[in-house]
Chains A and B, each alone.
Chain A
Amino acid sequence: AQSVAQPEDQVNVAEGNPLTVKCTYSVSGNPYLFWYVQYPNRGLQFLLKYITGDNLVKGSYGFEAEFNKSQTSFHLKKPSALVSDSALYFCAVRDQTGANNLFFGTGTRLTVIP
């Protein structure tokens, strides 16, 4: 069975500092991994995905994520945080059986402090 863990409910970072939001996964076979962001009263917005290829994936708004197979991790990163990055971030893994469904983590609330 597939699952995603986001070990931190809350991450605080000062504006301009690098940020990391952690995600680990469990899946049979090759993982298809995603990051989504959710702003208040809005739906989830796609940030980036890893399907195959380079372990470092670049996405929207300057975010990137590093796939680490040995550590079964897919941490989200950004070199310099903005106050506008404050939001709820979800990691997800895709089920590669027939339905191809997404399984989401519980989310990490990122607060960027001015």
Chain B
Amino acid sequence: EAGVAQSPRYKIIEKRQSVAFWCNPISGHATLYWYQQILGQGPKLLIQFQNNGVVDDSQLPKDRFSAERLKGVDSTLKIQPAKLEDSAVYLCASSPDGAGEQFFGPGTRLTVL
């Protein structure tokens, strides 16, 4: 079974630029999550989708971050404009439902200069 795929794996941008990350969850997984993991900290949930609907985006900085999962499969996370403090690893995870184990992708390491 293929795992959660993410791209790119690494991205370096300058502050005020835009960036987008892509995630393809495990086939058949209805729930998709985006996490931000700052160096030295645990992952922090940004947004949770159930199929193509948003379940929880309370921790998403909506003035600069946006995410979508239009067809209930792939998802993109965008930052516009980026700030220095957005430097982090962005993890995507999926689960068959919203209650059990989450399966994580390898992450995208973003560096904002």
Contacting residues of chain B (40-88) with chain A, CB-CB under 8 angstroms: 40-45, 48, 55-56
Asked whether A104 is an interface residue with its Cβ less than 8 Å from the other chain, the reply is yes
Which A residues from 53 to 109 make CB contacts under 8 A with B?
90, 92, 94, 98-102, 104-107
Are B103's CB and A46's CB within 8 A?
Answer: yes
Closest approach, in angstroms, between the C-beta of A75 and any C-beta of chain B? Answer: 17
Chain B residue with the shortest CB-CB distance to A36: B104
Interface of B is mostly: loop
A101-B48, A101-B56, A106-B40 known; A43 and B101 CB under 8 Å?
Answer: no
A99 touches B55 (CB 8 A): yes
Establish whether residues B105 and A46, one from each chain, have CB atoms under 8 Å apart when the complex forms: no
Max chain B Cβ within 10 angstroms of own Cβ: one of A34, A101, A106, A107: A101
**CB of B106 within 8 A of chain A?**
yes
The answer to whether B101 touches A46 (Cβ under 8 A) is yes
Whether A106 lies near B41 (C-beta < 8 A) is: yes
User: How many angstroms between the C-alpha atoms of A45 and B99 in the bound complex?
Assistant: 17
| Interface residue from A43, A101, A107 paired with B42 (Cβ < 8 Å) | A107
Mask, A17-45, CB within 8 Å of B = 1, is 00000000000000000101000011111
Kindly report which residue of chain A lies nearest to residue B100, judged by CB atoms.
A49
Nearest neighbor of A106 in chain B, beta-carbon distance: B42
On chain A, the residues within 8 Å of B102 by CB distance are 46, 102
- A102–B44 alpha-carbon span in the complex (Å): 9
Q: What residues of chain A lie closer than 8 Å to B25, measured between beta carbons? A: none
Q: Which residues of A contact B101 (CB under 8 A)?
A: 34, 46, 49
Can you add 10 more A-B contacts, CB < 8 Å, to A45-B104, A98-B56? Answer: A4-B42, A43-B91, A46-B102, A90-B42, A94-B99, A100-B99, A102-B102, A104-B42, A106-B40, A106-B42
Interface residues of A (CB under 8 A from B): 4, 34, 36, 41-46, 49, 90, 92, 94, 98-102, 104-107
